[in-house]
């Protein structure tokens, strides 16, 4: 009888989990968001069914086996110590459940990981207290909204200019931390046009609470292109670098090798080894970057010469090799860049 009631309740919970209109409360902006919703439904169904049985029996036993006024004061319960069969089953059934859950969640996780790689590459940089975005053909940084075209796979490289932030778009059911000195990548495909808040989920300073004002705009290709052109024109005159470096000449001739070497160990070694090109950490190994017959060109396709290395250091890099923050994100002055180039030029 009790079991039947609990089973009915559990079925109701399962039905509720699977019919609850989650997307009405939180739209699914990207393709994998719907898979995460599937996982949420699956877990909520099994979790609540399990809970209904545990709590149901708990409450039932608690009521049915209470000591009554008619009982002798020293009455004792049934002295059951254990029951091998029962214990066997309630070890094995959760184990089976664990295996099923592992399969389900790994499958969904793989779909998130296996989103296409060769899409639009965007870089998001966490700052205290906003995110800025870099697009392939736009100079400088976009600092208000993040726009993405519908249906085009996106590779989003995340890094930070100061402290750890969390880049979260609830409608994407996806987040990743932006860690200084580290580039992390998430990939996804927008599926639903709309404006979705971007929220910081790692405490990052006094105004952390205010870091939920920016939005991700997903729109059709023509609108996106218009927006894109607008920023291209707006930023046409902006040097590809940020305030502080922009417009200042880099005294390439005045580079100091020793200072560059010291600076390298502070600023660059989190991502680059002084090892052959193939030894990649986050970025490629930089041993003989300017004098490597096997790699006469830099990662941006330009010939390896000091001015182009300086340009990468100044503007950062986003492309097939990943992403590297710009000089202002890295806190490099023009003299620093000159020193680094001088040092790199000595590596042969």
Q: Which of residues 167-196 bind other proteins (CB under 8 A)?
A: 168, 170, 173-177, 179-182, 184
When computed from its CA atoms, the radius of gyration of the chain, rounded to whole angstroms, is 28
Category of 91 on φ-ψ map: left (φ > 0), alpha (ψ -120 to 50) or beta: alpha
Site residues for other proteins, 91-150, by CB under 8 A, read 91, 94-95, 98, 101-102, 105-106, 108-109, 112-113
Tokens encoding 153: 């796979």
Tokens encoding 89: 């089953």
- Please state, in angstroms and as integers, the Cα–Cα distance from residue 301 to each residue in 137, 138, 323, following that order: 15, 18, 15
Tell me the closest approach of the beta carbon of residue 83 to other proteins, in angstroms: 8
Tell me the closest approach of the beta carbon of residue 112 to other proteins, in angstroms: 6
Q: Count of residues binding other proteins (CB under 8 A)? A: 93
* CA 70-72-78 angle, 5° bins: 100
DSSP-derived 3-state class of residue 129: coil
Cα separation of 30 and 23, whole Å?
Answer: 12
DSSP-derived 3-state class of residue 163: coil
Tell me the closest approach of the beta carbon of residue 238 to other proteins, in angstroms: 25
Site residues for other proteins, 41-80, by CB under 8 A, read 43, 47, 50-51, 54-55, 57-58, 61-62, 65-67, 71, 74-80
Tell me the closest approach of the beta carbon of residue 176 to other proteins, in angstroms: 5
Taking the least distance from each CB to other proteins, the nearer of 184 and 300 is: 184
In the stretch 209-228, what mask flags binding to other proteins with x, by CB under 8 A? xx-x----------------
Sequence-separated (6 or more) residues with CB below 8 Å from residue 130:
143, 211, 214
Site residues for other proteins, 302-331, by CB under 8 A, read 331
Binding flag, residue 36, other proteins (CB under 8 A): yes
């Amino acid at each position: 009888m009790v079991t039947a009631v609990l089973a009915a309740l559990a079925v109701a919970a399962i039905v509720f989990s699977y019919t609850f209109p989650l997307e009405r409360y939180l739209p699914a902006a990207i393709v994998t968001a719907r898979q995460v919703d599937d996982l949420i439904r699956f877990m909520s169904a099994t979790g609540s069914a399990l809970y209904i049985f545990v709590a149901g029996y708990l409450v039932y036993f608690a009521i049915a086996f209470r000591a009554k006024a008619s009982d002798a004061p020293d009455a004792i319960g049934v002295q059951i110590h254990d029951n091998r069969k029962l214990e066997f089953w309630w070890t094995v059934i959760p184990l089976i459940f664990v295996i099923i859950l592992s399969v389900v969640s790994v499958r969904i996780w793989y779909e998130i990981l296996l989103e296409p790689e060769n899409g639009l590459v965007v870089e998001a940089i966490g700052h205290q207290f906003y995110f800025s975005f870099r697009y392939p053909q736009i100079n400088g940084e976009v600092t208000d909204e993040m726009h993405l075209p519908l249906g085009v796979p996106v590779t989003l490289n995340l890094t930070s200019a100061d402290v750890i932030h969390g880049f979260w778009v609830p409608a994407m059911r996806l987040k990743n931390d932006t860690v200084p000195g580290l580039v992390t990548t998430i990939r996804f495909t927008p599926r639903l046009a709309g404006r979705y808040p971007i929220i910081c989920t790692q405490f990052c300073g006094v105004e952390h609470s205010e870091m939920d004002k920016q939005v991700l705009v997903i729109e059709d290709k023509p609108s996106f292109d218009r927006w894109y052109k607008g920023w291209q024109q707006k930023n046409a005159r902006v040097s590809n670098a940020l305030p502080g470096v922009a417009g200042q000449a880099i005294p390439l001739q005045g580079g100091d090798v020793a200072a560059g070497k010291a600076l390298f160990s502070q600023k660059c070694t989190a991502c680059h080894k002084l090892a052959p090109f193939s030894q990649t950490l986050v970025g490629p190994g930089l041993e003989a970057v300017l004098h490597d017959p096997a790699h006469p060109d830099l990662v941006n396709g330009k010939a390896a010469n000091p001015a182009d290395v300086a340009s990468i250091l100044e503007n950062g890099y986003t492309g097939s090799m990943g992403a590297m923050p710009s000089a202002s994100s890295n806190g490099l002055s023009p003299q620093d860049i000159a020193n680094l180039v001088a040092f790199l030029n000595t590596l042969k």
